[in-house]
Amino acid sequence: MGYSRVYGVAEKAIELITLLLYTKCWLDFSAILWQLSGINGMNYFSPLIFKSLGVTGTDTGLFATGIYGVVKSVSATISMLFLVDRIGRKTLLLSSCGIMSFSLFFVGAYVKITHPDGFTQQINSGAIAAIAFIYIYSIGYASAFGGIPYILLSEAAPLNVRTVSATLGASMQWFMNLVITKATPYMISSIGYGTFFFFGSCVVCGGIYIFIWAPETKGVSLEHMAAAFGHDDVVAITEIAAKAKNEHFALPRM
């Protein structure tokens, strides 16, 4: 009897550890891709980025940065209020990856071809298009990655490992935030247009990862989230066992 109980406890512990590691790896990789979109580099160094596109003058750069922030905030609000539970998390994330990667590749190609120096007094049509794609990039990010990763951090892990898994995922996200924030100014000064190509390539990889491995959690209750990740639905199994037990005791005695 004692050995059976110890075996049962050990089996449950192994199951929880496996589930935690699987969910932690999924959330950690999601957090890494989240930051490798380059959004925080854009947020923190947007005046420098707009200058690299040919925007001159402190006031003009700050104005362009202000518009960037407003566009991102409005897009995130509309998406989180009206789209995330209708269209679905995965669909929004894939659409966001397509918008962001195309925008980043366009901006990178513009910088490579024209070599803007930030001192030219007149902005040409190509620079205007590049700036517009920076705003489109922010819309693409805010409509999905601006809020959905926070939702996934709170709902993706099954109930029995949710607290630990969400905490570790958030920690990884902030660690990658620090890495990207420190690296972005050096990337802009050293590889220039390659910065946009790098982040765009990371977004493409993220889109492939989401398409193949990320489950759709729209409409899935927190209690049944494990099934969305391919694990046993503990709640459903418990409910079936309880129902079978009740039916057994409800049988008439002979």
Q: Note whether 173 and 107 are within 8 A (CB).
A: no
CATH topology of domain 2-216: Growth Hormone; Chain: A; (1.20.1250)
3 state DSSP class of 219? coil
Q: Note whether 149 and 30 are within 8 A (CB).
A: yes
What number is the average pLDDT over the span 216-238? 62
* Residue with the two structure tokens 């920076």: 134
Whether the pLDDT of residue 51 is over 50: the answer is yes
Whether the pLDDT of residue 155 is over 50: the answer is yes
Average pLDDT, the chain: 76
Task: Give the pLDDT confidence of 195-225 residue by residue, as tens digits.
Answer: 999 999 999 998 998 888 777 777 776 666 6
What number is the average pLDDT over the span 163-177? 78
Q: Note whether 141 and 72 are within 8 A (CB).
A: yes
Count of Cβ atoms closer than 10 Å to residue 19 Cβ? 20
pLDDT score recorded for residue 106: 94
- 213 is written with which tokens? 């491995």
